[in-house]
């Protein structure tokens, strides 16, 4: 897994998942629970509604193929999406300053499409 080899879109999605994980952990939620996201439909609606659904699906599949997410599939779509512990470890090292650093990177990535 190499963060620098991800597409800009995949980085945005990965950091959005990591930001959600990070904030829930800070709120004292269980680590096992906060790594898990629901199906692609709910994830799309909750986090990525400004993206076309098929693009969101493609990006989540990309992150799974590259080892960042662990997806369980049903009817050819992710029905359970989990942020892998290896992903969390890499992102913790890369964004060790916390939420401000994560948000700064997300803003920078989003501005590439503005």
With bands split at pLDDT 50, 70 and 90, how would you rate the model's confidence at 42? very high
Output the pLDDT for position 113: 65
Q: Compute the radius of gyration of the chain from its Cα atoms.
A: 13
Domain ranges, ordered by start, for the chain: 3-111
Output the pLDDT for position 66: 94
| Tens of pLDDT, residues 51-94 | 999 999 999 999 999 999 999 999 989 999 999 999 999 888 88
Give the C-alpha separation, 83 to 69, whole Å.
Answer: 5
Q: Give the fold, CATH level 3, of 3-111.
A: Arc Repressor Mutant, subunit A (1.10.10)
Q: Is the dihedral of CA 34, 38, 43, 46 positive or negative?
A: negative
Give the C-alpha separation, 56 to 34, whole Å.
Answer: 20
Q: What angle do CA 96, 80, 16 make, to 5 degrees?
A: 30
Output the pLDDT for position 27: 87
User: From residue 54, how far is each of 6, 24, 35, 66 by CA, in Å?
Assistant: 18, 27, 23, 18
Output the pLDDT for position 99: 66
Assess contact for 51 and 44: CB atoms under 8 A: yes
């Amino acid at each position: 897994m190499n963060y620098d080899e991800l597409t800009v879109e995949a980085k945005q999605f990965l950091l959005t998942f990591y930001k959600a994980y990070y904030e829930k952990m800070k709120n004292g939620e269980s680590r096992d629970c906060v790594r898990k996201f629901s199906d692609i439909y709910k994830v799309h609606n909750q986090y990525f509604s400004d993206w076309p659904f098929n693009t969101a699906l493609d990006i989540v599949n990309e992150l799974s193929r590259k080892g960042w997410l662990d997806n369980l599939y049903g009817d050819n779509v992710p029905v359970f999406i989990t942020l892998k512990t290896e992903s969390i470890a890499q992102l913790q090292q890369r964004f060790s300053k916390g939420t401000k650093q994560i948000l700064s990177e997300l803003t920078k990535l989003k501005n590439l499409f503005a």
